[in-house]
Amino acid sequence: MNSSTTQPPADENQNNKSEAQKIRPKHHFFVRGLAISLPPILTLVIVIWVAGIVNDYIISPTTTTVRYCIAYFTDTSEPRDNFVQVENLPPLEYCRTDYLISKKHAKEFQTIEKNSGPGAVTRNMVIDYAWVPFGDRAVPYEDYREVAKRIRASEMPTTAMGLYMELATTRWFKSLFNLSAVAVILTIIALYFLGRFVTARIGSWMVIKFEKGILARLPVVSNVYSSVKQVTDFFFNERTVDYSRVVAVEYPRRGIWSLGFVTGDSMLEMTVTAGEPLVAILIPTSPMPVTGYTMSIPKSEVVDLNITVDQAFQFCLSCGVLVPPQQKVTDELLREELGKRLLGDGKLAGFKVQIVPPEATPQTPTLESEPATDKTNSEEPSTDQTEDPENPPHSN
């Protein structure tokens, strides 16, 4: 077969290589830029997302609760039936003439106008006795004005309780941020005392009765609550399980390695039946390492890994994408580990072995080849005994 028919021309190969080299740098730079920019962007997005969840479901409800409690105790509103609207009174700021006067003071203002004429009642005389209606309640004008200075008319609360909740923010805490900080501190204190109460006998008994008597009997809530409780107990409860030892075992069959956490020694009967020490190991599942399988494996078949528990969790959560730096397979680390294995010392650190191919050595003759050599040499005619037809040997 002709080589010219099977191989493309050299000019065409060079053109293809040049085009690939032109395209590759652009694609390479784009991927590198994406790889550098995505981690901080995703980190920021996750932090903002978590902060939003904390604010929506923890800080905001706690802040609203604190505001409501303060408003409940500082509410000075009265029923609207105790007040009447008087005509020809001067307009007030933020509410114009839409305000009420108590029945007692209304008669006094009417008497002043009747005796002194229209306009005798001034604004300063009315301010201390003016009440602004909110539904079936009425609030003092001073409280209404303090809230109206800060928010827009469209955002004004429609109830007296809402007005005093807004008033609690400005009058007692000056800003919503200060109120939120106080609410968070109160939440932490409440959780602390709740934890102390639950750890007591009566508190734990009440929690167990509440879980088994109410939550466990609800059709949908029971399944959700049990799953959430397992996750929260894993992270927040005090555990006697030691997860500081991360190992690798051959599971589910020989040749396939799985990551695991040593939780302690196995049971007595299992150890006696196996005839060697066993350890209990939790095999986590990805991408939820809080769940998995508990197995009893001989100590001789367990390989300790030089990684932390956090790195092991990251490895499981990422489905094997995030490999710890000291466990990445590189030429340098591979030579170092091979050197440790060859010397039989697993604790050797910093030893590096350079694997080079063996040098070629001349082949030495063996015992079997020597007779053959001798035989071949004996079969070859000697120069001394070879007869020359032209020069016959001399006879004695």
Q: Quick one: pLDDT at residue 152?
A: 85
B/e letters for 193-204, b = 16+ CB within 10 Å, e = fewer, are: eeeeeeeeeeee
pLDDT tens track for 281-305 = 989 888 777 778 889 999 999 999 9
Q: Whole-angstrom Cα distance, residue 380 to residue 377?
A: 5
pLDDT tens track for 337-378 = 788 777 765 444 444 444 444 455 555 444 444 444 444 444
pLDDT tens track for 28-81 = 777 788 878 888 898 899 999 989 998 898 889 989 988 999 999 999 999 999
Torsion angle defined by CA atoms of residues 43, 44, 48 and 53, in that order, rounded to the nearest 10 degrees: 0
Q: Whole-angstrom Cα distance, residue 346 to residue 350?
A: 11
Q: Quick one: pLDDT at residue 352?
A: 44
pTM listed for this prediction: 0.54
